[in-house]
Amino acid sequence: MLKKHIFTLFIFFASLNAAFAIPNSNDNRAVGFYGGVNAGPGVIDERDIFEGGDTDTTINGYGWAVYAGYNFIPYLGVEGGFMQNYASHGDGVRKRSGTINVPYLALRGNIPLGTRLSLFGKVGYTYYNDRLTLEQKKSGSATVVAAGLGYALNKSWTLTGQYQASLGLFENVGSIAFGAEYHFA
């Protein structure tokens, strides 16, 4: 299912790139500060928390993020941000829900795929905290990863689509998010 979504994103942004190509190839390779927001469907996989890991305790919901970063060179930068995932699942007798807060710091790599299209990836660190209805509030460190596509509308604005996740020891949190970035040029 995830591969299907990533492939659909790639085809969508590739078709935009072909339809609206411009001669200036620097639109999606900004150097300097940027900021962005995104939101989309999310999931909390907590099989190691509930019931000793014996059952599938994945709960679906949504997630959002706000972030800011600095590209040192067109292909590499550093980014800090805050992701939050909400999820809820179950019947009236045994309902599970949760909120996971994920502040993060990550390296971000950018690979231009044309005049407006770029592929990007992030890898970094977080010290997260969560509140799940069947467990006490807890926190821990985890790896943050993301991969996505950006489509530059102009020198300042970029539309993004990405899969972002926090891969921890006890749960995995992820979302497929769509949003926008503003590059301060």
User: In this predicted model, what pLDDT tens digit does every residue of 95-119 receive, in sequence order?
Assistant: 566 777 888 999 999 999 988 899 9
Question: Coil, helix or strand for 6?
Answer: helix
What pTM, to 2 d.p., does this model score? 0.74
Confidence of residue 77 (pLDDT cuts 50, 70, 90): very high
Determine, yes or no, domain membership for 108: yes
Q: Which CATH number is 116's domain given?
A: 2.40.160.20
C-alpha 172/C-alpha 110 separation (Å) is: 25
Domain span holding position 81: 2-22+34-183
Q: What pLDDT score does 74 carry?
A: 86
Determine, yes or no, domain membership for 13: yes
- From residue 29, how far is each of 38, 118, 153, 166 by CA, in Å? 20, 8, 12, 26
Determine, yes or no, domain membership for 58: yes
Determine, yes or no, domain membership for 28: no
Determine, yes or no, domain membership for 29: no
Determine, yes or no, domain membership for 27: no
More confident residue, 154 or 53: 154
- Total domains in the chain come to 1
